């Protein structure tokens, strides 16, 4: 296949992939930062921003899963070995799972601690469980652990994508970042 005719992800897939990624890149450090803050109005404000981002990730994850189940993604780059394909599929499946599990654990924790989320200050999100401080503490640990797992898988995923682009020099990253396509096509012209 010529470099210019790479099979691409649809615009919807690209939008959902990068919106979820941007929100996670913003919500994760905010979560770490606000956790150790003393209880002030600022902390409560950051809690709200973090929860709004989490609810948005959850909503986008639902749309993303529906989109994924109803649309076939492009074939993986040719030249990948069997184990690389299997590893990529497993990591993608785990990432799908985590973009549900991370916000869901936060939502459950927020419900257990009795701090209802009002999405962007407008839409009240129903609590999923009754108030229970002890269970809330346990859910905090679950939420933190899932977040560190998400970070580890996202880092591995990003390193693999960059490795494909800069070392294997295949089209894996180009399909997810169409801007790179024109650059690479220009660069490969004599
Ligand atoms: C929170 C961050 C991220 C999450 C949750 C995430 C999740 C995913 C998932 C689930 C897929 C599979 C899509 C499908 O075919 O159904 C995917 C594909 C992809 N992602 Fe990410 N991603 C994230 C960040 C990144 C970053 C930072 C990069 C690049 C540096 C990247 C590059 C790619 C590429 C190139 C593909 C296509 C792989 C292929 O077609 O084989 N992703 N991502």
In the numeric block, which tokens belong to residue 98?
């985590």
Paired residues of 119 in beta bridges: 123
Please return the burial class of 109, using the count of CB atoms within 10 Å of its CB with bins 0-12, 13-18 and 19+.
buried
Establish whether residue 174 lines the binding site of ligand 1, counting it when its CB lies within 6 angstroms of any ligand atom: no
Contacts 24+ apart (CB under 8 A), 20-26: 20/57, 20/60, 20/61, 20/64, 20/99, 21/154, 23/53, 23/56, 23/57, 23/60, 24/57, 24/99, 24/102, 24/150, 24/154, 26/53
CA 17–ligand 1 middle distance (angstroms): 7
Residue 24, pLDDT score: 98
Query: Could you tell me the pTM of the whole model?
Result: 0.92
- How far is the centre of ligand 1, averaged over its atoms, from the C-alpha of 88 (Å)? 10
pLDDT in tens, 94-150: 999 999 999 999 999 999 999 889 999 999 999 999 999 999 999 999 999 999 999
């Amino acid at each position: 296949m010529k470099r210019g005719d790479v099979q691409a992800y649809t615009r919807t897939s690209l939008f959902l992939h990068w919106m979820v990624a941007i929100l996670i890149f913003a919500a994760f450090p905010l979560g770490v930062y606000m956790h150790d803050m003393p209880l002030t109005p600022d902390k409560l404000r950051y809690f709200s921003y973090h929860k709004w981002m989490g609810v948005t990730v959850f909503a986008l994850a639902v749309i993303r899963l529906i989109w994924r189940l109803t649309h076939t993604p492009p074939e993986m780059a040719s030249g990948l070995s069997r184990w690389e394909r299997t590893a990529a599929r497993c990591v993608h499946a785990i990432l799908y799972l985590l973009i549900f599990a991370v916000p869901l654990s936060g939502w459950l924790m927020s419900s257990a601690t009795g701090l209802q989320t009002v999405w962007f200050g407008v839409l009240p999100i129903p609590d999923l469980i009754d108030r229970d401080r002890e269970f809330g503490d346990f859910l905090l640990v679950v939420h933190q652990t899932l977040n560190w797992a998400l970070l580890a898988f996202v880092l591995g995923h990003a390193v693999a994508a960059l490795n494909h682009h800069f070392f294997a020099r295949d089209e894996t990253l180009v399909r997810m970042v169409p801007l790179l396509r024109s650059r690479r096509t220009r660069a490969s012209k004599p």
